[in-house]
């Protein structure tokens, strides 16, 4: 694996060992970002800092962090990575460290995943509330280590908001987590935010925002959506 575009193009990325994580291949990642670069809703080009300049990114089920890192390489201002598996967290933190990306940490300490207790959620909320908001500065990251639903709820409660979201749940869990993603992400999106969702080729995203592009790459379906000015009602699917 490697970064396929932007300031860190060609830099290697470590994938977690074993089969617990399914990294997006370099070829599919490159194709996804080609589509993003062509979407007027996603493209910003601020001061020549790249097509995704200024975006606040959320990478859900982040794994190695390849998608969020790719966005940072192409000019995004910040990325919050949400992951629970310890091997993936080790790979993610290692990739950020090798690229020199500053990481806002909480009191949990590096390399240690948060537990699923209320204390873990409160810690994530504090971490989110303390994250820097620097426009035009060096790219930076936040690692939210724990159950995705708990971390997203805490992040929303802290007032965090995002303009670009990647979601790549395990394909066999997608239908199970889809309702929670729809409910929780609605609280985290700014009007006009872009979402990029990976699912199995035969599984529609089924999320309550407007689909603007849909691509298939082998056994993978990638759906590009744009959030409306106001969050749709739960269970409602935009046409």
CATH code for the domain of 146: 3.40.50.150
Q: What is the pLDDT of residue 134?
A: 34
Average pLDDT, the chain: 82
**Mean pLDDT value of segment 154-164:** 94
In a domain, 93, yes or no: yes
Least confident of 14-18, 31-35, 70-74: 14-18
Give Cα separations from 93 to 29, 63, 144, 239 (angstroms): 20, 10, 11, 38
Sign of the C-alpha dihedral computed for residues 73, 79, 85 and 87 taken in this order: positive
Q: Which domain holds residue 72?
A: 26-226
In a domain, 8, yes or no: no
Q: Is 229 exposed, middle or buried (0-12, 13-18, 19+ CB in 10 A)?
A: exposed
Count: domains in the chain: 1
Cβ proximity of 25 and 63 under 8 Å: no
206 CB neighbour count, 10 Å cutoff: 15
pLDDT, one tens digit per residue, over 171-227 is 999 999 999 999 999 999 999 999 999 999 999 999 999 999 999 999 999 999 999
Cβ proximity of 76 and 95 under 8 Å: no
**Mean pLDDT value of segment 111-120:** 33
In this structure, the dihedral spanned by the alpha carbons of residues 112, 16, 81 and 182, taken in order and rounded to 10 degrees, is -110
In a domain, 235, yes or no: no
In a domain, 67, yes or no: yes
> Is the pLDDT reported for residue 39 higher than 80?
yes
Q: What is the pLDDT of residue 177?
A: 93
Q: What is the pTM of this model?
A: 0.82
In a domain, 239, yes or no: no
In a domain, 11, yes or no: no
Alpha-carbon distance of 187 to 171, in angstroms, equals 24
In a domain, 231, yes or no: no
In a domain, 5, yes or no: no
């Amino acid at each position: 694996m490697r970064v396929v575009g932007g300031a860190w193009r060609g830099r290697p990325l470590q994938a977690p060992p074993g089969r617990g994580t399914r990294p997006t291949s370099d070829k599919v990642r490159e194709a996804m970002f080609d589509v993003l670069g062509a979407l007027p809703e996603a493209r910003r080009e601020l001061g020549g800092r790249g097509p995704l300049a200024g975006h606040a990114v959320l990478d859900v089920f982040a794994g190695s962090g390849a998608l969020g890192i790719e966005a940072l390489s192409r000019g995004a201002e910040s990325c919050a990575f949400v992951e629970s598996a310890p091997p993936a967290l080790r790979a993610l933190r290692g990739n950020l460290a090798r690229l020199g990306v500053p990481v806002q940490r909480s009191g949990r300490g590096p390399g240690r995943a948060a537990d699923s207790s209320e204390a873990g959620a409160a810690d994530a909320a504090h971490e989110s509330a303390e994250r820097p908001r620097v426009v035009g500065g060096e790219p930076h990251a936040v690692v939210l280590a724990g159950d995705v639903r708990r971390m997203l709820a805490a992040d929303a409660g802290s007032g965090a908001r995002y303009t670009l979201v990647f979601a790549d749940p395990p394909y066999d869990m997608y239908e199970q987590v889809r309702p929670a993603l729809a409910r929780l992400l609605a609280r985290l999106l700014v009007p006009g935010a872009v979402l990029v969702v990976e699912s199995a080729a035969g599984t529609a995203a089924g999320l309550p925002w407007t689909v603007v592009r849909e691509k298939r790459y082998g056994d993978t379906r990638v759906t590009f959506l744009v959030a409306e000015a106001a969050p749709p009602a739960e269970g409602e699917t935009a046409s």
